[in-house]
């Protein structure tokens, strides 16, 4: 079975500061991992994904995440926050044994102050 | 990139009526589509897996007779909320993985349902 834990329902940063959103996973088989962003009243947009290739994954809008098997983590980072980054972020996992349903974390709301 | 649309984007209905929500993959085919429900400030909860040409697979606790799913073609799945009640008010989101890519899903923009 797979599960995802996102630490911190809210993260507040100042514009220009480092963004760090935490995600830890549990999986009985090697996982695929995803980060999605959701703006108010919209669907989910894929930021980046890990599919057992490079452990450091670069995504859109300057975000990146590093898969650390020893820590069962897939934290999302961005060196410099922008006001437009304010949104809800979801980490998700699925087993890599063929396509199966995604399991989402509870989400982290990123707040960016001027 | 692949595009998934949903219609309507929002709907208000009276209690006891039925509401149909469409999910379309616009530029790719999908034998499987997923329906999620999202309550305010909460995560997405998978309701059911829609399978083209066969019955949907429902998650535990989801009423099959209340949430009717039809996947009539490789580009269209519909979710019908029957005899809607105020507690069915929610944000419903669909997603679809392209046939060519099993490790990614594309999400629709969501449908906001309000039952009065």
The pLDDT tens digits of the residues spanning B7-63 come to: 999 999 999 999 999 999 998 888 899 999 998 878 889 999 998 888 999 999 999
Query: Which backbone phi and psi does A85 adopt, to 5 degrees?
Result: -80, -10
Considering only CB atoms, A43 lies closest to which of B102, B103, B110, namely B110
Considering only CB atoms, A42 lies closest to which of B42, B95, B109, namely B109
Report chain A residues whose CB lies below 8 A from the CB of B108.
43
**Closest chain B residue by Cα to residue A6:** B43
Contact A98, A1 (CB under 8 A): no
**What's the rounded mean pLDDT across residues A7-33?**
93
Calculate the alpha carbon distances from B112 to B6, B21, B88 in Å.
Answer: 10, 10, 11
pLDDT at A97: 67
What is the least distance, in Å, from the CA of A33 to any CA of chain B?
Answer: 9
């Amino acid at each position: 079975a797979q599960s995802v834990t996102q630490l911190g329902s809210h993260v507040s940063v100042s514009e220009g500061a480092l963004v760090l959103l935490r995600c830890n996973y549990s999986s009985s088989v090697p996982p695929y991992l995803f980060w999605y962003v959701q703006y108010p009243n919209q669907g989910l947009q894929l930021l980046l994904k890990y599919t057992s290739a490079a452990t450091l994954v670069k995504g859109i809008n300057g975000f990146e995440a590093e898969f650390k098997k020893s820590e069962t983590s897939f934290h999302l980072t961005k060196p410099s926050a922008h006001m437009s980054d304010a949104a809800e972020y979801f980490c998700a996992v699925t087993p890599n044994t063929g396509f199966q349903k995604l399991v989402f974390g509870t989400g982290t709301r990123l707040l960016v102050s001027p | 990139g692949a595009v998934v649309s949903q219609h309507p984007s929002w709907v208000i209905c009276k209690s006891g009526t039925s509401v149909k929500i469409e999910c379309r993959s616009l530029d790719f085919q999908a034998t499987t589509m997923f329906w999620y429900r999202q309550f305010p400030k909460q995560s997405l909860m998978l309701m059911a897996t829609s399978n083209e040409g066969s019955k949907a697979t429902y998650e535990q606790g989801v009423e099959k007779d209340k949430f009717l799913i039809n996947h009539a073609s490789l580009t269209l799945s519909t979710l019908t909320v029957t005899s809607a009640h105020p507690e069915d008010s929610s944000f419903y989101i669909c997603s679809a993985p392209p046939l060519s890519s099993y490790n990614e899903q594309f999400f629709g923009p969501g449908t906001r349902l309000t039952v009065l």
